Amino acid sequence: MTASSPTAVLVLRLAAPLQSWGDRSTFNRRETRPEPTKSGVVGLLAAAAGRPRHAALDDLAGLGLGIRIDQPGTLLRDYHTVSDYRGQPLLSAAVTAKGRQKPTSPAKHTHITQRFYLQDAIFLAAVEGPRALITTLEHAARHPAFPLALGRRSCAPAQPLVLGQRTGSLEDVLRAEPWQASPAIRRRWGRENGNAAHVNLSATLDDPAGDDVRDDVPLSFAPTSRTYTTRRIRHTYLAAPTGLTPDPDRPPTNGGHDPFALLGW
The reply to whether 84 falls in a domain is: no
Question: Within this chain, do residues 38 and 155 fall inside the same structural domain, yes or no?
Answer: yes
Segments forming the whole domain that contains residue 264: 179-197+242-265
Question: Within this chain, do residues 54 and 184 fall inside the same structural domain, yes or no?
Answer: no
Question: Within this chain, do residues 213 and 263 fall inside the same structural domain, yes or no?
Answer: no
What average pLDDT score do residues 99-104 get?
87
Residue 88 pLDDT grade (very low, low, confident, very high; cuts 50, 70, 90) = confident
Q: What is the DSSP string of 20-78?
A: ---SS-BTTEE---SS--HHHHHHHHHHHTT--TTS--HHHHTSEEEEEEEE--EEEEE
Give residue 248's pLDDT: 59
Question: Within this chain, do residues 129 and 260 fall inside the same structural domain, yes or no?
Answer: no
Question: Within this chain, do residues 56 and 33 fall inside the same structural domain, yes or no?
Answer: yes
Residue 145 pLDDT grade (very low, low, confident, very high; cuts 50, 70, 90) = very high
What Å distances lie between residue 245 and 157, 179, 182, 238, CA to CA? 29, 13, 16, 19
The reply to whether 108 falls in a domain is: no
Residues 184-210: pLDDT tens digits?
999 999 999 999 999 999 999 999 999
How many domains does the chain contain in total?
2
